[in-house]
């Protein structure tokens, strides 16, 4: 369903309907898009625990009405004790994906909320913004089909991890339709509301968090928590024929998302979801990922300026020129998995938020802190146990992130906030829905609902094929195979393609929104 609204307050979208309702209620009470987004972020951490948590990281783009676009980078660094020696002494050659040694970075999400609210004059009380999240944690939420599937499929690798079984395995894996209550998390959210968001990192709450991390065997210490701060970098941007695009700075893959669209802007394509469209975006993805994997990581260790690359028209022309319009570039590279939530808000003044938060894998490291009910991320499991080079583990180093929220200001005055979960699929899904809407004039909801593709690995799979949902015109698959793509068909609607969403505000004040039928989400407006 296409959702449009001539609004005084605004519109929100999130991959779980209860989170959308939390954002809507803030708008109804006079809040703006940033405040609504914080309410959604908190609710999502409760109602979608298999996808995100306050023990993860987050990134935000916040556009002022007719003005500046702010960035918030809330990514936690590797603990001071997360050294190569720590893993060598444990007899490990790689960082494990689960367990306490995977929980080796600070969780930045809460600092992201704090930094976002710092941009608001006289924000609503935290107790109001966290109200719905606290209620859902106390009263319980119904386990979704997707949550139950993940609990079942990942049970063997999670059930023995510190703290996991007590919350997520009451007599066995969570079942669809069961009621999940999280009283410890509710108490933590109340404490945050009473003592401030900074108390997650400094003070009694931080000490409780650190004590449980130590009991679990995580290297994250009170000093690591106390040292953490979110940053507010200027977002990356790229100009295309009809819009200015924005995305997040490293250590995210935001540059890849922008490169894909900048390169495709230079290619010929006549229709949405035809061969030129799909092949062109897939090949632009390959060029963008080659750049990303060569250069992107903790900005403190990068040797190139990502914005300068996006501003270099000659470089973009060369990369676009390297794309063969008829033949696929061989693609042996493997993808990174990831589980995430994207959510967005636009208020009646034209303020827009595109935000994303994650624990990396589904249910993160699997470590659940019993005192606070927090699921801790495993983002640091992506580090390489190497002394130097791309994404090498170093104490205090920020890990590479697949997370990247997207935004666009069109030349005609529209503003668009959009994004998705899905690890390596995030830039690809962003590119698909944006080009459908922007270049080919497809209605916004149709652009999100239409079949999608993913170059690379999905959850639990090791193949680097070009995976497509089985709803495209059949002739497209043959043309892609003829061009050299290793085509693999998937279910017509699959969460492997991410949970996308989008909002657009028009110059006349009309707001339209879209949510993904692959998720449990909703658009809500008032």
Count CB-CB contacts under 10 A for residue 488. 16
Which structure tokens are listed for 158?
């999670």
Per the CB < 8 A criterion, the answer to whether 398 and 390 are in contact is: no
- As a whole number of angstroms, the distance between CA 310 and CA 326 comes to 26
Active site residue 340: yes
Say how many CA atoms lie within 13 Å of 24 toward its Cβ: 15
Sign of torsion, CA 386 389 391 397? positive
Query: Among the residues of 76-119, which ranges form H helices?
Result: 84-89, 109-117
Picking from 123, 100, 127, the residue whose alpha carbon sits closest to that of residue 42 is: 127
- As a whole number of angstroms, the distance between CA 134 and CA 139 comes to 9
Which is catalytic among the residues 105, 144, 249, 340? Answer: 340
Q: In what order do the strands lie in the sheet with 453-455?
A: 453-455, 466-469, 487-490
- As a whole number of angstroms, the distance between CA 312 and CA 335 comes to 27
- As a whole number of angstroms, the distance between CA 287 and CA 317 comes to 12
- As a whole number of angstroms, the distance between CA 78 and CA 252 comes to 16
Which structure tokens are listed for 90?
């444990």
Note the maximum CA span of the chain: 63
Show which residues are catalytic. 340
């Amino acid at each position: 369903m296409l959702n449009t609204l001539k609004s005084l307050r605004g519109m929100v979208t999130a991959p779980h309907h209860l989170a959308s309702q939390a954002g809507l209620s803030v708008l109804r009470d006079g809040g703006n898009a940033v405040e609504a987004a914080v309410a959604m972020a908190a609710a999502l951490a409760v109602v979608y625990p298999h996808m995100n948590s306050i023990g993860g990281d987050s990134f935000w783009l916040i556009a002022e009405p007719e003005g500046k676009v702010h960035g918030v980078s809330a990514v936690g660094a590797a603990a001071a004790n997360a050294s190569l020696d720590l893993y060598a002494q444990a007899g490990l050659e790689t960082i494990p994906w689960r367990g306490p040694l995977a929980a080796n970075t600070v969780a930045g999400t809460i600092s992201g909320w704090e930094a976002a609210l710092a941009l608001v004059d006289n924000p609503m009380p935290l107790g109001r913004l966290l109200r719905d999240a606290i209620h859902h944690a106390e009263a319980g939420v119904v386990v979704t089909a997707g949550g139950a599937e993940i609990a079942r499929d990942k049970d063997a690798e999670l059930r023995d991890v510190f703290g996991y079984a007590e919350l997520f395995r009451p007599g066995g894996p969570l079942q669809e339709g069961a009621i999940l209550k999280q009283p410890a998390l509710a108490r933590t959210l109340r404490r945050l509301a009473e003592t401030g968001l900074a108390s997650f990192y400094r003070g009694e709450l931080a000490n409780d968090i650190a004590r449980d991390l130590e009991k679990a065997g995580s290297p994250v210490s009170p000093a690591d928590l106390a040292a953490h701060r979110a940053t507010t970098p200027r977002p990356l941007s790229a100009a295309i024929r009809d819009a200015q695009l924005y995305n997040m700075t490293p250590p995210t893959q935001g540059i890849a998302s922008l490169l894909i669209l900048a390169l495709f802007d230079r290619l010929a394509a006549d229709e949405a979801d035809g061969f030129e469209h799909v092949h062109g975006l897939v090949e632009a993805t390959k060029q963008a990922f080659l750049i990303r994997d060569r250069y992107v990581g903790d900005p403190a260790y990068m040797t190139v300026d990502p914005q300068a690359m996006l501003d270099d028209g000659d470089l973009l022309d060369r990369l676009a020129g390297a794309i063969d319009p008829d033949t696929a570039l061989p693609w042996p590279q493997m993808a990174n998995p990831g589980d995430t939530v994207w959510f967005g808000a636009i208020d009646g003044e034209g303020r827009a938020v595109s935000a994303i938060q994650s624990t990396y894998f589904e249910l993160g490291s699997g470590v659940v802190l019993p005192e606070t009910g927090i699921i801790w991320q495993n983002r640091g499991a992506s580090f390489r146990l190497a002394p130097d080079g791309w994404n090498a583990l170093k104490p205090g180093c920020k890990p590479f992130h697949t997370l990247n929220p997207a935004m666009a200001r069109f030349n005609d005055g529209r503003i668009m906030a959009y994004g998705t979960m899905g690890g390596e699929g995030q830039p690809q899904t962003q590119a698909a829905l944006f080009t459908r809407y922007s270049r080919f004039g497809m209605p916004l909801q149709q652009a999100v609902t239409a079949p999608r593709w993913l170059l690379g690995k999905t959850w639990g799979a090791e193949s680097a094929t070009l995976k497509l949902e089985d709803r495209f015109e059949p002739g497209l698959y043959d043309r892609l195979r003829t061009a050299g793509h290793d085509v693999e068909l998937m279910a017509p609607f699959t969460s492997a393609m991410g949970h996308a969403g989008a909002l657009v505000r028009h110059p006349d004040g009309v707001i339209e929104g879209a949510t993904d039928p692959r998720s449990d989400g909703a658009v809500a407006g008032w």
